[in-house]
Amino acid sequence: MRALTWHSSGDVRVETVPDPTIVDQTDVVVKVTSAAICGSDLHLYGGYMPTMEKGDILGHETMGEIVEVGSAVTKFRRGDRVVIPFAISCGACWFCQKELFSLCDTSNPNKEMAAKVMGQSPAGLFGFSHMLGGFAGGQAEYIRVPFADVGPIKVPDGLTDEQVLFLSDIFPTGYMAAENAEIEPGETVAIWGCGPVGQFAIRSAWMLGAGRVIAIDRVAERMEMARQGNAETIDYTKDDPYETLMETTGGRGPDRCIDAVGAEAHATGIGGAYDKVKQTVRLETDRPHVLREAIRCCRKGGTLSIPGAYIGFADKIPVGAMMNKALTIKTGQTHVQRYLEPLMTKIVDGQIDPSFVITHTVPLEKAPEMYKTFQKKEDGCIKVVLKPQG
Ligand SMILES: NC(=O)c1ccc[n+]([C@@H]2O[C@H](COP(=O)([O-])OP(=O)(O)OC[C@H]3O[C@@H](n4cnc5c(N)ncnc54)[C@H](O)[C@@H]3O)[C@@H](O)[C@H]2O)c1
Ligand SMILES: [Zn+2]
Ligand SMILES: [Zn+2]
């Protein structure tokens, strides 16, 4: 089959690789009809994620049609159309039982590698380094899906791929980010990053009762999309987010803050230069500019929710402000399985059509150039959908 493979920083290729097969009887094999490129893929593309190997297949936002079914799978049969969560979860361990699916204790076969860095290993993820399982991703014609009874959700008739694809990741991620922000009715929520995750966090903040949503970015079309979602916007290259947020909240600061940017935050000034240099020479894996800014901006006793992905180590986090202002911090890879049914219901009921975020739809063969376009935010690119079947 054809698949998008990682080779090194900035070098991904579409190559012919062996077709996946059933390995465990709890697997299914899915013929991929749509797969998206995520902001998280950019961290791999940028070479920031350790334990990537040449030839690894990327992609964790995937859907398609089941073509092979392991003998132990009870929920699915050939021909079922499914969306696949990016986290692989066994459904049976202590963490899965508590619905902490992205923390599954059994799905990562390379647990020791992750535990060495983090103390304990989170779940295995599709297309996301060997430390997180070395699972082949979904930017390919076919994908093997382990623990099929726990992961995928069947798509009701009448919905397009574009309407449901983002249940695999960014819609639940934006939703969990807003849930983690602990929004009380009428509160002001500030969201850093108007990428796809920020866009879904904006819409989810409204669903969860926000009174005001303020989104921060510098890319014009992304801020425009945020305004279409009824957010007010701050261009951080024109107005200082701290000054602006303090002024617009009567000196109190936003009640709830969401960092939907993560490890590759862009920053002006000395702090940005410091992180850039340290990250380049690998003394720091992350550029935590937004994390610092959100801690500073958040009102006393507020909550900071962090869906933005961090990888390893970051410097100069203002822990003093965090502690003395009594902030609550919540974060994590999304427990996607928890949100599949409730968010599918919102799509079916017409409360939201997630396809609004798509700007580019291309055949898989064009994926390498779309990685570049998406990374550089050229051509108005906000979200790319790949069509592996042409
Ligand atoms: N927790 C999870 O399970 C999960 C799931 C999906 C994605 N993510 C992470 O969420 C983050 C966002 O993903 P995305 O797909 O929206 O990515 P993206 O790269 O498209 O968007 C990031 C946005 O942040 C903006 N930005 C950069 N520096 C900024 C700053 N200083 N202030 C404000 N905005 C700034 C960029 O202009 C861009 O629009 C990534 O780190 C990604 O890895 C996490
Ligand atoms: Zn993702
Ligand atoms: Zn588990």
In the chain, residues under CATH classification 3.40.50.720 are 171-331
> Per-residue pLDDT tens for 88-127?
999 999 999 999 999 999 999 999 999 999 999 999 999 9
What are the two backbone dihedrals, phi and then psi, of residue 28, each rounded to the nearest 5 degrees? -125, 160
Q: Spell out the CATH class of 2-168+335-387.
A: alpha beta
Summarize the confidence of residues 232-260 as an average pLDDT: 98
Q: Are 11 and 133 in contact (CB under 8 A)?
A: no
Atom of ligand 1 nearest to the CA of 43: 43
Distance CA 294, CA 305 (A): 10
Predicted structure pTM score: 0.97
**Structure tokens of 172?**
């639940």
Distance CA 284, CA 128 (A): 20
Summarize the confidence of residues 366-390 as an average pLDDT: 97
Query: Is residue 83 classed as helix, strand or coil in its secondary structure?
Result: strand
pLDDT category at 385 given cuts 50, 70, 90 is very high
Pairing verdict, β 188-192 and 256-259: parallel
The span from the first CA to the last CA of the chain, in angstroms, equals: 13
> Per-residue pLDDT tens for 343-376?
999 999 999 999 999 999 999 999 999 999 999 9
Angle at 143 between CA 42 and CA 105, to 5 degrees: 75
Q: Spell out the CATH class of 171-331.
A: alpha beta
In this predicted structure, what is the pLDDT of residue 360? 98
To test the pocket of ligand 1, the residue of 40, 357, 376 to mutate (highest count of ligand atoms within 8 Å of its CB) is 40
In this predicted structure, what is the pLDDT of residue 28? 98
> Which protein residue has the closest C-alpha to ligand 1 atom 15?
39
> Per-residue pLDDT tens for 18-51?
999 999 999 999 999 999 999 999 999 999 999 9
Q: Is 75 in the pocket of ligand 1 (CB under 6 A)?
A: no
In the chain, residues under CATH classification 3.90.180.10 are 2-168+335-387
Angle between helical axes of 241-248 and 289-297 (0-180°, round to 10): 20
Residues 6+ apart with CB under 8 A from 251: none
Distance 91 CA to ligand 2 centre (A): 21
> Dihedral of CA 294/383/371/132: which sign?
positive
In this predicted structure, what is the pLDDT of residue 8? 97
| Residue 321 DSSP code | H
Q: What is the largest CA-CA distance in the chain?
A: 62
In this predicted structure, what is the pLDDT of residue 279? 82
Residues in a beta bridge with 250: none
In this predicted structure, what is the pLDDT of residue 338? 98
Question: Where does residue 239 rank: exposed (0-12), middle (13-18), buried (19+ CB within 10 A)?
Answer: middle
> Per-residue pLDDT tens for 195-217?
999 999 999 999 999 999 999 99
Distance CA 264, CA 276 (A): 9
Residue that is written with structure tokens 């695999």 in the block: 168
